[in-house]
Amino acid sequence: MGHPEAYSLLRCGSWLSFVARKILLSRSRIITKTVFVMPELAPVLDHLDKSLDQSLERLFTLLRLKSISTDPAFADECRKAAEWLVEDLRSIGFEASVRDTQGHPMVVAHHDGDGPHILFYGHYDVQPVDPLDLWDADPFAPALAERDGHKVICGRGSADDKGQLMTFVEACRAYKAVHGKLPCKVTILFEGEEESGSPSLKPFLEANAEELKADFALVCDTGMWDRATPAISTALRGLVGEEVTVKAANRDLHSGEFGGAAANPIRILARILADIHDENGRVTIPGFYDGVEETPSQILKSWETLGLTPEKFLGPIGLSEPAGEKGRSILELVWARPTAEFNGISGGYTGKGFKTVIAAEASAKVSFRLVHSQDPDKIRAAFREFVKARIPTDCSVEFAKHGGSPAIQLAYDSPFLSKAQAALTDEWPNPAVMTAMGGSIPIVGDFQKMLGMESLLVGFGLPDDRVHSPNEKYDLASFHKGQRSWVRILDALAK
Amino acid sequence: MGHPEAYSLLRCGSWLSFVARKILLSRSRIITKTVFVMPELAPVLDHLDKSLDQSLERLFTLLRLKSISTDPAFADECRKAAEWLVEDLRSIGFEASVRDTQGHPMVVAHHDGDGPHILFYGHYDVQPVDPLDLWDADPFAPALAERDGHKVICGRGSADDKGQLMTFVEACRAYKAVHGKLPCKVTILFEGEEESGSPSLKPFLEANAEELKADFALVCDTGMWDRATPAISTALRGLVGEEVTVKAANRDLHSGEFGGAAANPIRILARILADIHDENGRVTIPGFYDGVEETPSQILKSWETLGLTPEKFLGPIGLSEPAGEKGRSILELVWARPTAEFNGISGGYTGKGFKTVIAAEASAKVSFRLVHSQDPDKIRAAFREFVKARIPTDCSVEFAKHGGSPAIQLAYDSPFLSKAQAALTDEWPNPAVMTAMGGSIPIVGDFQKMLGMESLLVGFGLPDDRVHSPNEKYDLASFHKGQRSWVRILDALAK
């Protein structure tokens, strides 16, 4: 079948090695790269190339199931998706089962292997499809299409996360077909509630910790840096959320009558928020930077090679000046530095026109993104002290806690990481980059806390996949080369 | 009829003077004071005392008319009130007429006199009465009652402003009855739209400037300092209202993805607001204090004698610490100092729970109370410059103008003022105090701007009158001694 990125494998010399000359046609350039392919791999990759049509058919079957987890009307479709996956995994040789929870079922599957034990995580549930009229086609009638010069798989769940999890299933299928075994011991966990807050996940991990514990986890729900550059997320920022309400007078006041004499909670709150950053964008809360490490210079250098200028990152959102700590790159700011952000503020009269009122109270929602070993509890306590010190004696303050999770940071010198990175680099035009994520992915924290297991986050999504939106798609290249990537990674991890 | 404040007039000696020994029983003390009453006055005051029942009947007739100006359903009642007032004024000898406007009519009346020409202003329209179930009695069935130890007139409009304007009408009626003339040339203007924004007032003043222009105005829509202390408001703070909207990214952002790199408009806005006051509560906007004068020390001293401690002023609203400029008394802060207040703020997610969003924009409503000769246009321009200087180059700011009016300050050495003050001091237990008002009364500015006329604000309302609220009342003493006060004032002004 046709493919936007044409490449060919050329046998050169012996059975011991292949030279793969890959020509990748991206929109802007032609990349030619020469890599050596180990003999175990070559026939598996070949098998994947030849069976792409069949793997697409399987994915389409899964995509046709309307497994919207947040809407109880689709509970049956969720179960059907779980059952279909179990059947498919059994056909490969997995010992697989649908596992009931209080909500939608989990899929758990096991396969023996000689190498390390890995746990692969994905989710079969999808987002709702509203507003339906913004879709170009039925979201549950998957099809191939051409979009912006790329061949893509269209449909809800194609990228998030059915297409992604099937890359791994297809990699296992091909390896098993060619070699009759898998290179690693593999446990698979497919969740059916990721898009609706994962209410059953923690209880399930707790109840089945023994069964699910592996040497490390592969979490496939993320993306590439760009079409040519695979990525491994090794860090996730943590989060502390706080709602702070400053209370002054016991009722709203007329600013003519009381203005100039009575405390104004908006003024007090503005002063507190303004005090949180210094003129260099650093957070001034005492102890805030405890546990924050400087990022290794080689990592910073690799990020520099990605060429993400402030213009490229901020341009699309209409900005140009990095607003965080001065003297640090955009990627360092969003991946490796903690922040204090103000997510909401309200107080007084906010309707149309004007009302000369002095409000009784004003409140703000404040969040902190954490990195490395910053302690969420200590940050929360330090913030509250910082605020209390700025409340006049005749006013008061109330706090509401909104979530707190530490950051996740995989050691940059982990052998799993370097193997996976080399394997991805072999498959794609550009070397794999170790990235981080500015936001949180709770499952990674849960694996670490509850199963004592680190995670590698590898995925093949692209920024234009429109996940959670109408017209979701997954590049055919993501699906195909994703399968090939997993074969390479499994093979590398086994060595 | 019974009266909570018993007093008696004792004739002593000659026809040329009376010694009036007034015993006023207030809740906390008995005050005995000796004053001389001029011979023109004594019979008029006597007449008022004797005709209190009749004057009450007239007021009750007016109070029964449901002249709610904001609700078109009561337009007929508004007109009836105007017509009743015209008839009543004609019965005294005024040349009075109902004057149509685009809205509810004005009442204009003229009476000759030898003294200066004064314009008396009041309004016959009243506030709506919702919520009706919070009233102890029908708001339009006026009655006498006892409340908190004081005899009061209950009903909508009793204090605001029908009861007040009738104190002046009754004073004129009594003077005319006794002396066959009035001591001053009097023009009366009663408005019917004060409670609904006075839309017809400016056009009416403009169209009838020649007819309405007097030597100065008496505006009767304010209150006493307390039950024993009459007040003349000589200053009104001006007002500049601004709405400022800080715009950053072109859409709301995920704080995980962009936090630490993208500008946060709430942070920018908080910094701007925090910068507006220094640590001593002074406004830092350059040029803000241009035109602000220090209040004469004798005025500050007279305010001190009122004993308004921070505890007394702020205690009822649950506060204790003055929040304005340090080193100034409460009364100076609210009467004679300019302010910057934040009346509303909004941005980002303000609903329940939490959303890790970086908002595209945030906005605040900011107002400045002005004193003396501060220029509203200059203040507005200076504020905008102050804000713009704090907007990052890749962000923008928009302003919306909400009203601007200069402060009003009557010269403390005006002869009208000292005469009115002496007259009030003769009537009440405590000397009349020259107060100011923290808020604005547009009519005073209009008289000044459009008719070139200063205003004395004299009224007999009390803080517990519940104007605009259910169970509005007017103390019977306010009504009765208010009439007597106007007789004294008219007499004093004529001299």
3-class DSSP state for residue B69? coil
B320–A343 C-beta distance less than 8 A:
no
Q: Check if A407 contacts B (Cβ < 8 Å).
A: no
Residue B94: the pLDDT is 98
Do residues A284 and A384 both lie within one domain?
Answer: yes
Q: Do A317 and B269 touch (CB under 8 A)?
A: no
Task: Identify the residue among A255, A332, A335 best suited for mutation to test binding to B, counting B beta carbons within 10 A and taking the highest.
Answer: A255
Contact B115, B494 (CB under 8 A): yes
Q: Do the domain assignments include residue A137?
A: yes
Mutant choice from B342, B374, B469 vs A, greatest count of A C-beta within 10 A: B342
What integer is the mean pLDDT of B120-147?
95
A205 plus A250 within the same structural domain: no
Q: Do A356 and B239 touch (CB under 8 A)?
A: yes
What is the predicted pLDDT for the residue at A293?
95
CB A295 within 8 A of CB A411: no
Q: Is residue A325 less than 8 Å (CB to CB) from chain B?
A: yes
Instruction: Please name the member of A259, A277, A439 whose beta carbon is closest to the beta carbon of B257.
Output: A439
Q: Which of B253, B350, B380, B395 would you mutate first to test chain A, the one with the most A CBs within 10 A?
A: B350
B376 and A CB contact within 8 Å: no
Task: Give buried/exposed letters for B100-134 (b at 16+ CB in 10 A, else e).
Answer: ebebbbbbbbbbebebbbbbbbbbbbbbbbeeeee
| Pairing relationship of beta strands A18-25 and A30-37 according to DSSP bridges | antiparallel
Is A337–B260 a contact, with Cβ atoms under 8 angstroms apart?
A: yes
CA angle A120, A124, A128 (to 5 degrees): 145
CB contact under 8 A, A439 and B277: no
Distance CA B438, CA A258 (A): 7
| SS3 (DSSP) at B203 | helix
Residues B267 and B396 both lie in one domain = yes
Give me the residue from B239, B256, B354 closest to A365, CB to CB.
B354
Q: Which CATH number is B349's domain given?
A: 3.30.70.360
State whether A230 and A259 are in the same domain. Answer: no
Q: What is the DSSP string of A425-468?
A: HHHSSS--EEEEESS--HHHHHHHHHH---EEEE--B-TTS-TT
Task: Grade residue B37 by pLDDT with cuts at 50, 70 and 90.
Answer: low
Q: Is the pLDDT of residue B33 over 90?
A: no
Same domain, B263 and B351: yes
B343 closest CB neighbour out of A318, A349, A395: A349
Amino acid identity, position A204: F
> CA of A135 to nearest chain B CA: how many angstroms apart?
22
CB contact under 8 A, B260 and A354: no
Is the separation of the CB atoms in B456 and B28 below 8 Å? Answer: no
Which amino acid is it at A264? Answer: N
Instruction: Supply the pLDDT for residue A337.
Output: 95
Give the distance, in angstroms, between the CA of residue A451 and the centroid of all CA atoms in the same chain: 20
Q: What is the DSSP letter of B294?
A: P
Crossing angle for the helix pair B476-493 and B162-179, to the nearest 10 degrees: 50
- CA-closest candidate to residue A180, choices A172, A190, A169: A172
Vertex B194 angle, CA B193 and B198, to 5°: 65
SS3 B272: helix
Q: Is B233 left (phi over 0), alpha (psi -120 to 50) or beta?
A: beta
Structure-block tokens of residue A53: 């049509």
Question: Which residue among A353, A395, A440 sits closest to B256, beta carbon to beta carbon?
Answer: A440
Q: How far apart are the first and last CA of chain B?
A: 33
Q: Based on the fold, state whether residues B398 and B433 are members of the same structural domain.
A: no
Interface test with A, best of B277, B356, B371 (most A CBs within 10 A): B356
| This prediction's pTM | 0.80
**Cβ within 8 Å of B, A 453-482:** none
A371 contacts on B by Cβ (under 8 Å):
none
CB contact under 8 A, B339 and A269: no
Around A319, how many Cα atoms within 13 Å sit in the side-chain half-sphere?
A: 27
Does residue B163 belong to any structural domain of this protein?
yes
**Residue A24: per-residue pLDDT:** 34
Asked if the Cβ–Cβ distance from B356 to A313 is below 8 Å, we say no
A198 shares a domain with A58: yes
Contacts of residue B107, defined as CB under 8 A and 6 or more positions apart, other chains included, come to B82, B85, B86, B89, B96, B97, B98, B99, B124, B188, B189, B190, B192
Closest alpha carbon within chain B to A276:
B267
Task: Report chain B residues whose CB lies below 8 A from the CB of A271.
Answer: 270, 273-274
Q: What's the confidence (pLDDT) of residue B438?
A: 75
Phi, psi of A299 (to 5 degrees): -70, -45
Last residue of a domain, one of B354, B388, B405: B405
- Is the CB of B394 inside 8 Å of chain A's CB atoms? yes
User: Which chain A residues contact residue B439 at CB under 8 A?
Assistant: 254-257, 356
In a domain, B2, yes or no: no
Asked if B269 and A270 come within 8 Å (Cβ–Cβ), the reply is yes
Task: Answer whether residue B29 is part of any domain.
Answer: no
Q: Check CB contact under 8 Å for B353 and A402.
A: yes
What digits encode the pLDDT tens for the residues A254-266?
888 898 899 999 9
| Length of chain B (residues) | 495
Contact (CB<8Å) B266/A344: yes
pLDDT digits (tens, 9 = 90+) for B361-397: 999 999 999 999 999 999 999 999 999 999 999 999 9
Give the gap in angstroms from C-alpha B391 to the nearest C-alpha of chain A.
12
Mean pLDDT (whole number) for B471-483 = 97
A–B CB contacts, 8 A cutoff, strictly below = 289
Q: First vs last Cα of chain A: how many Å apart?
A: 33
Whether A365 and B344 lie within 8 Å, measured CB to CB: no
Give the angle B340-B343-B348 at the CA atoms, nearest 5°. Answer: 120
CB contact set of B442 (below 8 Å; sequence gap of 6+): B198, B201, B405
Are A261 and A218 found together in one domain? no
> What pLDDT score does B39 carry?
75
Is any Cβ of chain A less than 8 angstroms from the Cβ of B273?
A: yes
Local confidence band at B222 (pLDDT 50, 70, 90 cut-offs): very high
- Do residue B288 and residue B155 come from a single domain? no
Residue stretches of chain A with pLDDT short of 50 = 1-32
Q: Which residues of B touch A342 (CB under 8 A)?
A: 264, 266-267, 270, 347-348
- Does residue A245 belong to any structural domain of this protein? yes
What's the confidence (pLDDT) of residue A451? 95
Is residue B21 a part of any domain in this protein?
no
pLDDT tens per residue across span B148-205:
999 999 999 999 999 999 999 999 999 999 999 999 999 999 999 998 889 999 999 9
Look up the CATH number of the domain holding residue A420: 3.40.630.10
Last residue of a domain, one of B365, B384, B405: B405
Q: Please check whether residue A64 is in contact with residue A70, taking contact to mean a CB–CB distance below 8 angstroms.
A: no
Which of 149-208 (B) contact A at CB < 8 A?
A: none
For residue A69, being part of any structural domain is answered with yes
Cβ distance of A354 and B261 shorter than 8 Å: no
Distance CA B134, CA A63 (A): 62
Tell which residue, A293, A286, A467, has the closest CA to residue A381: A286
Instruction: Tell the burial category of B183 from Cβ atoms under 10 Å away from its Cβ (0-12, 13-18, 19+).
Output: buried
Among A405, A430, A454, the domain-final residue is A405
**Per-residue CA distances from B422 to B5, B214, B239 (Å):** 21, 22, 31
> Could you give the number of structural domains in chain A?
2
User: Is pLDDT of B304 > 80?
Assistant: yes
Do both A177 and A228 map to the same domain? yes
Report d(CA A167, CA A173) in Å as an integer.
Answer: 10
Instruction: Print the domain residue range for B268.
Output: 238-292+338-405
Q: Do A177 and A82 share a structural domain?
A: yes
Same domain for B352 and B212: no
Is residue B23, in this structure, part of any structural domain at all? no
Closest Cβ opposite residue B319 in set A248, A274, A348: A248
pLDDT tens-digit map of B394-433: 999 999 999 888 998 888 888 999 999 999 999 999 999 9
ipTM value:
0.80
Phi, psi of B66 (to 5 degrees): -85, 70
Rounded Cα gap, residues A107 and A96, in angstroms: 7
Which residue from B260, B348, B367 is facing A333, i.e. has the nearest CB? Answer: B260
Residue B341 · residue B366 · CB < 8 Å: yes
* Partner residue facing B342 (CB), from A260, A348, A439: A348
- Contact call for residues B64 and B138 (beta carbons, < 8 A): no
Question: Distance from B377 to chain A by nearest Cα, in Å?
Answer: 18
| Total Cβ atoms within 10 A of residue B494 | 17
Q: Which tokens is A273 given?
A: 């928020």
User: B 284-323 residues with CB below 8 A of A?
Assistant: 310, 313-314, 317-323
